[in-house]
Amino acid sequence: MSSILTNAGATSALQILRSLDSQMFGAEREVATGLRIEQASDNAAYWSIATTMRSDNGALSAVQDALGLGAAKVETAYEGIAATTDILAAFMAKVVSAQQDGIDKNKIQEELEQLKQQIVSISNAASFAGQNWLRSDMQGQTSEAGAKTSVVSSFNRSEDGTVSVGTIDVDLSKLALFKNGGGGILQKEPDPDLGHGLGTIGGLLGFSTSGYGDVPGPVFDQPFTITKFDVVTVAFSVGTSNDTFVITKNVVDQALGGQIGYGFDGDIESPADWAKVLLQATFLNKAPPDVLFAAQGGAPNIFFRATLPLAAELITVQPPVHTRTLPPEGIDILDIDVTDPDIDFPTITLVLDEMQQKVISAGAYLGSLRSRIAMQEAFGNSLTDSLDRGIGRLVDANMSEASSRLKALQVQQQLATQSLSIANSDARNILSLFQ
């Protein structure tokens, strides 16, 4: 049926043309942006995932920058440590030479003074971005906030969507050549009266007790280090039987050395460490027939208990005696003077060797940090590339398909336009019927 009021053909052609125009707009936008999913209305689920991943990728990029900054700090400290190692070797050689008869010690001391100044210069110059890991404001305790720093290493998103930032911890107590107040690798120990040296060494010095049954033992009060020059001897009795137990660096290393997170460094850092050291000193280092009592319990409640044959006897623990083969404050490399007539060359040589070993250990520690940061940087780059590829798979347009679809839509649009033109000519055809 033909009508001049309603042109069904034109209406249908117009609807098709409008649909094609909408599809053309989407295809042109896809070709222009290169994205199949540009906004949430395109695909809410994929758009949400891709947007979150882009945000994570930005955070990962910031982490890579932080790793680069951390790597630069490690490199700077390492170069300072490496140079210090060479100077200490020369320093040791000069001290050994000074022990020869007939040598001019004043000339050697002049050379030593220059080496000292060079060590100080290196420690002052090894600074990057305002941080100097070789010269610290720490007061000698690894538990203090200033004794550790960290390098941002990762950005993590858990399954429940929560995010966290991972770090690589750096123990500055292993690196500081000089600390304010003393206690650096090349310094004497701080004054015990300041509370930063051996002090009460875990509550042991000044401790004494007596009683029947379970007798409370010394408590752990602060981290401390037993060096190879320290000997703590504790006399005790169980009934009429007398004995001693001794705490030395060897005892500490027997109890803690080689475990995960511990070196053979004599460090006692927690109540759990203290419990192991006491058990080692009172029980494990004695033959069974000689054992009178042993440390019992665990951190933080340590107590002494007599062996079964002596269970009813009185336990008496005398105040311990602490001796050192070095002066109580140790030796500072800046104070070494080979012209001093009272100089103890064997002790000085031992101390210099220990300093050199600590500096070498610091270099090894920095080397391991540098290796870990490099591995984390490589992993971060791979992870960023992986996220980019994942985002692309979700939202990127297939340009070959988009191009073909756009050309097809252009042809359809032209045909739809012609169809609309034909449909609009129906009115003229009706008019011809009345002529």
* Range among 220-234, 326-340, 364-378, 396-410 with highest mean pLDDT value: 364-378
Is the previous residue joined to 288 through a cis bond, with omega within 30 degrees of 0? Answer: no
**What is d(CA 350, CA 340) in angstroms, rounded to the nearest whole number?**
17
pLDDT value at residue 113? 94
| Residue 2 CB coordination number (10 Å) | 10
| Residue 410 CB coordination number (10 Å) | 14
Which position has the token pair 């043309």? 17
Which position has the token pair 């759990």? 272
- Segment 236-264, tens digit of pLDDT: 999 999 999 999 888 988 888 766 666 67
Mean pLDDT of the chain: 82
Nearest one of 125, 137, 186 to 358, comparing CA atoms: 186
**What is d(CA 425, CA 209) in angstroms, rounded to the nearest whole number?**
117
pLDDT value at residue 137? 59
**What is d(CA 150, CA 131) in angstroms, rounded to the nearest whole number?**
12
Provide mean pLDDT across the span 175-182: 82
pLDDT value at residue 143? 42
Cα three-residue angle 42-402-14, rounded to 5 degrees: 75
**What is d(CA 283, CA 292) in angstroms, rounded to the nearest whole number?**
9
pLDDT value at residue 218? 87
Nearest one of 344, 199, 201, 343 to 266, comparing CA atoms: 201
Q: Per residue in 20-59, is it b (16+ CB within 10 Å) or e — as a string?
A: beebbebbeebeeeebbbbeeeebeebbebbeebeebbee
Same fold, 46-188+331-389 and 209-324: no
- Segment 300-353, tens digit of pLDDT: 888 999 988 888 899 999 988 888 776 656 788 988 999 988 888 888 898 899
pLDDT band at residue 365 using 50, 70 and 90 as cut-offs: very high
Query: Given a cut of 60, is residue 145 above it in pLDDT?
Result: no
Give domain limits for the chain: 46-188+331-389, 209-324
**What is d(CA 282, CA 271) in angstroms, rounded to the nearest whole number?**
16
The residue count of the chain comes to 435
Provide mean pLDDT across the span 277-300: 82
pLDDT band at residue 392 using 50, 70 and 90 as cut-offs: confident
Nearest one of 320, 323, 143, 137 to 223, comparing CA atoms: 143
pLDDT band at residue 11 using 50, 70 and 90 as cut-offs: confident
pLDDT value at residue 150? 87
Question: Higher confidence at residue 72 or residue 144?
Answer: 72
pLDDT value at residue 32? 72
Question: Higher confidence at residue 397 or residue 253?
Answer: 253
Nearest one of 223, 216, 217, 284 to 250, comparing CA atoms: 284
Assess if CATH 3.40.50.300 describes domain 46-188+331-389: no
Cα within 13 Å of Cα(272), Cβ side = 3
Phi then psi for residue 217, to 5 deg, are -100, 175
pLDDT value at residue 427? 64
Lowest-confidence pick of 112-121, 125-134, 208-217, 401-410 = 401-410
Nearest one of 364, 360, 325, 343 to 112, comparing CA atoms: 343
Cα within 13 Å of Cα(291), Cβ side = 20
**What is d(CA 351, CA 91) in angstroms, rounded to the nearest whole number?**
12
**H/E/C letters for each residue in 118-153?**
HHHHHHHHCEECCEECCEECCCCCCCCHHHEEEEEE
Provide mean pLDDT across the span 19-24: 76
| Domain 209-324: CATH class, spelled out | mainly beta
**What is d(CA 297, CA 201) in angstroms, rounded to the nearest whole number?**
20
